[in-house]
Structure 1
Amino acid sequence: MTASSSALSALLKKSTLDDHEQILDACNKTLKSSKSDPEAQHVKLVALLKLDRYEEAVQSAETAGDSLRRTAQLEYAYALYKTGRLKEAVAISSEIQSRGASHLEAQARYRLEDSLATSELYQRLRNAHDESEGYDLHVNQGAIDAQAQWIGVADVRSIRRPGREDLEAFETAYNAACGSIAREEYTQAEMLLKRAKELCRHSEDLTDQQKRDELIPITVQQLYVLLCLGKSAEAEAVASEIIIEDASDLSTRHIAQNNLLVTRGLDNTFLAYKQFHATDKIPSNDKLFSFQSAPLTSNQATLDLRAFKFDGLKSSRHIPGKSDTPSDEFISSCSKAAAVAGNGTGKAAIRKILSLLEKQPKDIGIIVTLVQLYMLNGDSTSAVELMEDFLKRLEQSAVEHEQKTRFNPVLVSLMISLYKHRDQKSHVKKELAKAAAYWRTQPNPPASLLTAAGVSLLESHDEADAKLASEIFARLKEQLPNDKATAAGYVASHAAAGSSQLKSDIDKLTPVEDLVRDVDVGSIEQAGIPQSSNALAIAQLGRSKKRGAPEAGEGKAKRIRKSRLPKDFDENKKPDPERWLPMKDRSYYRPPKGKKRAKRGGDTQGGVVNEDLNVDAKPAAPVASASGGNKKKKGKGRK
């Protein structure tokens, strides 16, 4: 060991946990005389981490070389995690066999929204039976469960509903509220957030500053829930509690600023644009989750369009498949298309976006924008043809990513909505059947899409469709064993199996007696056959247009215009009652005599046919005259 290293070791023995600046100065002095001293490099890296100087820690580890990164793998991985280089942190920490490295890997994967892998890591940590970490692991698992539901990868069977134990601490109550928000159970979330605020305010383990730091995200989340519930007055009261400057992280500040703008509803677009961008740019180490960034990106694009920032949106570099999240990529594409059209909605705007589509034929945002404009202009035919061509191109693609995009629930729902608008029921069934056939082979299929496909196929009389419906509901039964809609579909699709085999599923359904308990059968029979709304409207329209003949002594007779009367009309003369009959059928008709009668005798159209005439006989061919009577006479002077 060199002299400088001995001096550093002596200093470290005398130092306390609070003098990291002094330790860092000693390491720098040692490294000036011996740049490759491994102990000094390692101590410097730890000191920088203790001082929260993470960028310098990463730079120091990378400058020192591979030897330090192998010796201080955990410290280097932690520095990468704190600077937002999450994938590198996962790669390094996953190779380290230690409990601390597992915690670090779980945190990095959580930030990367890899919920399933994170949950497996925490399960392994819980199995190690470290009682000192029991509460922390429980809190972190609650956050993971909420995230999995937000991004749509949670197994429905493993979703845990809030229990009594979640109401004992503000962290667990907050995570349970986030899970309720992900399931759109806002009333329950409101109750849990109120409980979380109360527990946080009365916590004896937190300082006043720590309470302010914890209350900001809880209050911002509460404001979001109240806005979703439409409780404007309560939302304004909660908004008055939020002091944006109290938020320690910029991501929370940005979300709070957005929700406050929504609450206040500024009419001045340019003032709203200014306030939206008032917060500083979010650094990479405080990156938003996808379910947070999507609405913020959408709001930013909307404000840019309303503020006529077309050039900025059109010049934004958007490469399909290279954006941070698919939602951000989609929003960027839609806003760029709208900017190219200059916020227009007419045919001129459609032509401009079509020229953009020629350059990017597989851009979903451009396709959806065009479909919306077509529908706004009443051209549903072009909208359907555009979507069908686009989906066909994706379906024929050999790229796996494009195959998954083809059956994205959002695109399938859009296609079905267009078909329903045009009342193309057979096309709806085919589209749902295609989507169901694809998602049955994929993990975590969208339950709502499979349910819709199964219901549609049950309405068909084709045996193949019925078989597919039974397979779909069998898969849904495994995924949602306690769902009543799934149980009903399973019973309906497996009715041929007999009620004895379906008894457990039938017991989950509401009994028929309970469903018809409040139905008055007598009044229904007395009311007769119900008519559709269209039939009732037509009948009402007919009654409103028709007028009955006036009865005796009621009103005046309808006056007939002179233009409708014959020229020799005499209102004092009684009209001929047989004037509507043909002349030959009138009682006073007498046929003409003599030559006129002979000329008219052969005309039987409209009259009585003479049965002596052979009307079925075919005309005979003329017989050639032997005397040459049919020959033409020769002209004079010719021989």
Structure 2
Amino acid sequence: MEVDGVAEVVVTESQRVWREVRACLQNEDFDKAVQLCNTVRSKSPDDIDAIRVKCLCLIHQDKYDKALQSASGKHKAVLSPERAYCLFRLGRLEEALEVSRAGESGVSGGGDSKRARALRHLEAQALYRLGRHGEAAEVYCSIAEDEERRTGGGGFPPVSVNVAAAYAGAGCGEKALGALSVEEAMEEEGAPWELLYNLGTALVQRRGGAGDDTAAAESCLQQAEEACRESLVALGHSDAEAADEASMVRSQLAYAASRAGKTAAAAEQLNQVVRSRPSDPAVSLVSTANLAALGGYKDQQEALKRLKAAMSEKSEKGLLSKQLEACRFNKCLLLLQCGKTEECRDELEAVRSAYPNSDLGPRIEAALLSKRGKGGEASSVLKAHLAKAKPGSKEEVSLKLCVAQLYATENDLTLAAETLEGVGGAVSGTPAAASALAGLYLGMGDTEKAAAVVVRAAEAASRGDHDLEGDEQARALLGMADWLHDQGFHRQAADTYQKLLRLGAELDGDLRIQAQASLVIAYSYFDSGKSEEEASKLPYNADFGSIEGLDPLALEMTELPRSSKARKLVLVDKASQKAERRQNKRDPEAILKKRAKKRAKYIAKLVEDGKIDPTKPVPKPDPERWIPRSHRAYGKRGRKRNKFVGAQGSGDGAAKDTAKLDALARAQAKQAASEKAAVLPPGVAIGKRGGKRR
């Protein structure tokens, strides 16, 4: 009975301790919970529950080193999830990946247990942070399949967010959109805003050709921003906190706008994000780097200053490997553009050691050498890396373009043209490449080759090659046709105008009229009949009036209309119009109106920038602002200092100076002195202290 009684007391004591531990965990008193776990282990060192609870308490306190130490004993196989998580949070990603993979088969309950699923999540997270996004996406997809099989499907499982993020990080937007439906995600009520954000990013990546989804991407991202704000406000967060969290989505919206060619709108959105000072330093860094790339700052010096301020250890930890690589290379480029070559060289060495396989390193190094006047060394650097590049790869194309640019900088146009002709891949035949190559041939004086290059590019553009479509395709063809016409190749220009007019419904009305009129002019150089035939297709405008009876000489004296609106041609006196415009410039009322408009616009800009309060009256300008401060009426400080000093004062010094100039006073003083001398006793001289010495 006594033994049984002792055993009963021991069990009761253990229950009491664990009851206290549970209460501590509920109250988030992790320090006391750790002490109680140590108490349990003092009596039972191998109590696995006490070790696990202690690890979790230390993890909640961000004490990952101590938690890892506690989980690394002889029970480390059982505590694989805790060890992998601590290694992940400490940045030891390779070790975390190794522990998570080794622990999946060793945990109790098999692969479908909760701890096994946690290890698979950790494996995918480690792969994602290591930049191995494709492998991470595969692990996440398998987790999603298992979750769908276990729960019976329906809706989007939480891991769908990770699937989309991994595919987007790998640059495989097509795969993300193949695994997940954007339409269903946007229509589903309560869909996670993170899922919408990642799918919007995938749509941005799929831009080009038949998959041009810029508008859909912007719509998806806008819905993600609204969902983000609503979900955070529903959880009790303030509007300011919700807006701060949504800054990441707004930054991505700006990126989508820049990919769509809306550079000004993208720069304005990024500027708003940067000025809002988001709490996430990674968002601030990405927005600052993109704004600098779009030229949104006053100059390169300011862009470099802002980028340096945004780059910190904390902000860089929140970026993907590709994002951090782009930011660091952008910093090198800004240093180079600002003329800080020594600092650029030091930064480039550090960046190239971190990213040895990047093609940006040799390109920036060549630019740095070229700026220092070492063109030969720059060419050798590019050619050395070009020999290692995979044929047809993006790296080879970018290096060849750099070599061509280097030759052009050194005025070796022949080698530059030969190098540019040899560039393959997606760049060859594009309007930009054709423009550069035609410019090189024109510089060499070979207009025939230049025209042949533009004609080939026009044929490719008319077929819709290089993802050209819609307005972009039409304007490219119009630009090439105008160039051929300006260079005197009227037949080729007419053919290109015809290709442009065959686009049909895709051609804008004003653009069609412009192309038709240009075609008439091009045919007039070599086929008047065809020119008249095409001229008959131009739309008639009654506002132009009839040309019958119009005097050509009078037409030459007619002033051209100064707006895009149609006007009737009338004879005017140019001299009187010039005098009238000159008189209007001197009109005081017109000048005052112009000043008032400028002032209102300036005040509106100050209000927008937050420099003045619109609720308070605008202070009137100081009428004495052009006078030095010491001379202003209200500048009383120091007014009495040295008041009576100098010729302009009224003190003793000024009186003496004045007396010297008064001739009458001097004459009277001389006369008074002579009269006084007459009554003095003999031997006394005026102005002397003593009498006459004998």
Alignment counterpart, residue 158 of structure 2, candidates 128, 132, 136: 136
Q: How many residues align?
A: 414
- Matched AA of 1:102: R
Asked if residue 303 in structure 1 is aligned to residue 334 in structure 2, the reply is yes
CA distance in 1: counterparts of 2:39 and 2:524, whole angstroms: 94
- Matched AA of 2:185: E
CA distance in 1: counterparts of 2:176 and 2:48, whole angstroms: 51
Tell me: CA distance 1:134–1:68, structure 2 relative to 1, closer, same or farther (3 Å).
farther
- Mapping for residues 546-585 of structure 1, pairs under 5 Å: none
What is the deviation of 1:242? 5.4
User: Is the 2:33–2:54 Cα contact (8 Å) retained in structure 1?
Assistant: yes
User: Who is 1:118 aligned against?
Assistant: 140
User: Who is 1:484 aligned against?
Assistant: none
User: Who is 2:25 aligned against?
Assistant: 16
Asked if residue 240 in structure 1 is aligned to residue 250 in structure 2, the reply is no
Tell me: CA distance 1:58–1:368, structure 2 relative to 1, closer, same or farther (3 Å).
farther
- Matched AA of 2:117: R
Asked if residue 81 in structure 1 is aligned to residue 94 in structure 2, the reply is no
- Matched AA of 1:71: V
CA distance in 2: counterparts of 1:60 and 1:269, whole angstroms: 51
Alignment counterpart, residue 362 of structure 2, candidates 317, 333, 348: 333
Tell me: CA distance 1:152–1:418, structure 2 relative to 1, closer, same or farther (3 Å).
farther
Tell me: CA distance 1:153–1:16, structure 2 relative to 1, closer, same or farther (3 Å).
closer
> RMSD across aligned C-alpha pairs, in angstroms?
5.1
TM-score normalised over the length of structure 2 = 0.48
Alignment counterpart, residue 190 of structure 1, candidates 218, 243, 249: 218
Tell me: CA distance 1:339–1:384, structure 2 relative to 1, closer, same or farther (3 Å).
same
- Matched AA of 2:82: E
User: Who is 1:352 aligned against?
Assistant: 377
User: Who is 1:266 aligned against?
Assistant: 297
- Range that drifts further, 216-225 or 363-372: 363-372
Tell me: CA distance 1:195–1:154, structure 2 relative to 1, closer, same or farther (3 Å).
closer
CA distance in 1: counterparts of 2:224 and 2:322, whole angstroms: 22
- Mapping for residues 520-539 of structure 1, pairs under 5 Å: none
Tell me: CA distance 1:282–1:310, structure 2 relative to 1, closer, same or farther (3 Å).
same
**Identical positions, percent:** 22
Tell me: CA distance 1:106–1:237, structure 2 relative to 1, closer, same or farther (3 Å).
closer
- Range that drifts further, 122-131 or 184-193: 122-131
CA distance in 1: counterparts of 2:58 and 2:299, whole angstroms: 47
Tell me: CA distance 1:53–1:277, structure 2 relative to 1, closer, same or farther (3 Å).
farther
CA distance in 2: counterparts of 1:42 and 1:200, whole angstroms: 35
- Matched AA of 1:339: L
Which structure has more relative contact order (CA 8 Å, sep 6+)? It is 1
CA distance in 1: counterparts of 2:245 and 2:286, whole angstroms: 15
- Matched AA of 2:202: G
Asked if residue 43 in structure 1 is aligned to residue 53 in structure 2, the reply is yes
User: Who is 1:217 aligned against?
Assistant: 248
Tell me: CA distance 1:162–1:155, structure 2 relative to 1, closer, same or farther (3 Å).
closer
- Matched AA of 1:379: D
Asked if residue 201 in structure 1 is aligned to residue 203 in structure 2, the reply is no
Cα-to-partner distance string for 1:223-247 (whole Å, 9 max, x where unaligned): 2233444263575367436555433
What is the deviation of 1:123? 2.6
Gaps of 5+ in 2: 1-6, 105-110, 208-212, 390-394, 440-458, 464-501, 508-515, 529-694
- Matched AA of 2:140: T
User: Who is 1:69 aligned against?
Assistant: 76
User: Who is 2:285 aligned against?
Assistant: 254
TM-score normalised over the length of structure 1 = 0.52
Tell me: CA distance 1:261–1:517, structure 2 relative to 1, closer, same or farther (3 Å).
closer
Alignment counterpart, residue 405 of structure 2, candidates 372, 376, 380: 372
CA distance in 2: counterparts of 1:349 and 1:538, whole angstroms: 51
Tell me: CA distance 1:197–1:357, structure 2 relative to 1, closer, same or farther (3 Å).
closer
User: Is the 2:255–2:266 Cα contact (8 Å) retained in structure 1?
Assistant: no
Tell me: CA distance 1:387–1:143, structure 2 relative to 1, closer, same or farther (3 Å).
same
User: Is the 1:258–1:276 Cα contact (8 Å) retained in structure 2?
Assistant: yes
Tell me: CA distance 1:318–1:127, structure 2 relative to 1, closer, same or farther (3 Å).
farther
More helix by share: 2
Tell me: CA distance 1:287–1:208, structure 2 relative to 1, closer, same or farther (3 Å).
closer
Gaps of 5+ in 1: 392-406, 424-454, 460-513, 520-526, 541-639
Cα-to-partner distance string for 1:303-344 (whole Å, 9 max, x where unaligned): 111233322333457599974484xx2222322222233x36
User: Is the 1:367–1:387 Cα contact (8 Å) retained in structure 2?
Assistant: yes
CA distance in 1: counterparts of 2:368 and 2:39, whole angstroms: 58
User: Is the 2:177–2:202 Cα contact (8 Å) retained in structure 1?
Assistant: no
What is the deviation of 1:120? 3.4
- Matched AA of 1:19: D
Cα-to-partner distance string for 1:156-192 (whole Å, 9 max, x where unaligned): 9936552043243333332231122112332222222
Asked if residue 107 in structure 1 is aligned to residue 125 in structure 2, the reply is yes
Alignment counterpart, residue 257 of structure 2, candidates 223, 226, 234: 226
Helix, strand or coil for the counterpart of 1:71?
coil
CA distance in 1: counterparts of 2:235 and 2:321, whole angstroms: 30
User: Who is 1:621 aligned against?
Assistant: none
CA distance in 1: counterparts of 2:155 and 2:87, whole angstroms: 24
Cα-to-partner distance string for 1:343-391 (whole Å, 9 max, x where unaligned): 36xxx432132455688764868765333211444536545887999x9
User: Is the 2:173–2:203 Cα contact (8 Å) retained in structure 1?
Assistant: no
Tell me: CA distance 1:413–1:127, structure 2 relative to 1, closer, same or farther (3 Å).
farther
CA distance in 2: counterparts of 1:263 and 1:358, whole angstroms: 30
CA distance in 2: counterparts of 1:516 and 1:234, whole angstroms: 32
- Matched AA of 1:190: E
CA distance in 2: counterparts of 1:235 and 1:314, whole angstroms: 29
User: Who is 1:609 aligned against?
Assistant: none
- Matched AA of 1:120: S
User: Who is 1:176 aligned against?
Assistant: 199
CA distance in 2: counterparts of 1:119 and 1:53, whole angstroms: 32
Tell me: CA distance 1:52–1:191, structure 2 relative to 1, closer, same or farther (3 Å).
same
Alignment counterpart, residue 182 of structure 2, candidates 149, 157, 162: 162
What is the deviation of 1:72? 0.7
Tell me: CA distance 1:411–1:324, structure 2 relative to 1, closer, same or farther (3 Å).
farther
What is the deviation of 1:53? 3.4
- Range that drifts further, 376-385 or 98-107: 376-385
User: Is the 1:146–1:179 Cα contact (8 Å) retained in structure 2?
Assistant: yes
CA distance in 1: counterparts of 2:206 and 2:143, whole angstroms: 24
